[in-house]
A = this chain, B = another copy of it.
């Protein structure tokens, strides 16, 4: 099928009318974006390569270092300039043995995974009565000291949303739930996975404990196991529900991670660069395909496509941040190291590989012409304009710290939390057509930004 026809079909399948663009096929960047929609192979090559040849890339570990070496080889092979690994120290946590068993009134094993930054039960494990909290609010409302010697079970559940806002609603059960439970005396916490599917693959993720509260063991049960534990409470008829829990993660202390960078050099090195970011590390359970090899593939493919359309005015810098998952270590280190080097605009891709559906900037009022030109240029790929103010994500701390221009190319998150932080984050979950739509939109946006002579923020 001819590419223009396929592009039209793709736009139709996204339920967005194809808009007339009389000029864009004469504009090299737009032509590259169009070709990416049905032809990009670069992003897939990155994701397939790193998930197959490296696999999981847990922050601060040798696996993450192998990922950096692999990515640098790939960037060099693809012709990026100034490819480097910028090292930084971090505090490293790694998973150990993981087992949960309900011991009474109904004996049954459960699938669990430890949450990042939690403590060990020791190899013998612990056994305690479980206290059931249907929601995070119920836990917060529990009296001080009421959980002494108990395991808290927070069963706060999550529903899928296109914009990922379900994570903001359900996330506190993981982010701060174990700390709240520990502050009330709990010896451990188990949560319902922060995820929207029903597989026996629990969702890991980081948590943190308040100052003065000693970390406890904490883990996520898979959703079917959380359902089962709820039913056990319903059928216990007042008998205590007890659980044996073995979680033996370790804090390794300080180890090294690093940020991988590479550049498409612009014709005017005096202009601040366009920063396109992703993170290279992943949780250890999956192979880090959607989180976030896809993002690194997308931003790299876009940078290469823009270069192929003709050397851009501004330098495009790719930042593949390290150690995002256990605390944004790489993004913070990058900002600290480069805070005095102005960035023209920052963008990140870190929400899977499903299609971009909404465009947001933080300069719609201060630079309305540029905002409108960008939004109009990607409307043909099915991307809606928005009055939301872009705030960026985990990988572009530097743009927030500098108070610089930010663009958010929002991806469809409906499926994202089925896979997020689970063993199921693997290559097969990526839809090649939607991945290419990401590259097309990014090519268009980055191409316009990198060839924009004026200040992006417009102040």
Contact = CB atoms under 8 A, between A and B. Distances in A.
B106 A224 contact: no
Contacts of A307: none
B109 A55 contact: yes
Contacts of A55: 106-109, 228
A227 B232 CA distance: 37
A198 interface: yes
A199 interface: yes
A198 B424 CA distance: 8
A228 B426 contact: yes
A111 B199 contact: no
Contact of A423 (B106, B200, B422): B200
Interface string A383-425: 0000000000000000000000000000000000000001110
A261 interface: no
A48 interface: yes
Given A55-B106, A201-B201, A428-B227, A423 B111 contact: yes
A11 interface: no
A424 B200 contact: yes
Contacts of A107: 55
A53 interface: yes
A366 interface: no
Interface residues of A, number: 33
B198 A52 contact: no
B200 A426 contact: yes
A106 B232 CA distance: 43
Nearest to A108: B55
A427 B227 contact: yes
Contacts of A287: 108, 228
Interface in A249-290: 286-287
A35 interface: no
Given A201-B200, A423-B111, A429-B198, A235 B106 contact: no
21 contacts: A48-B231, A52-B106, A52-B231, A52-B232, A52-B235, A53-B235, A54-B106, A55-B106, A55-B109, A56-B109, A111-B423, A198-B424, A199-B424, A200-B422, A200-B426, A201-B201, A227-B427, A227-B428, A228-B426, A228-B427, A231-B427
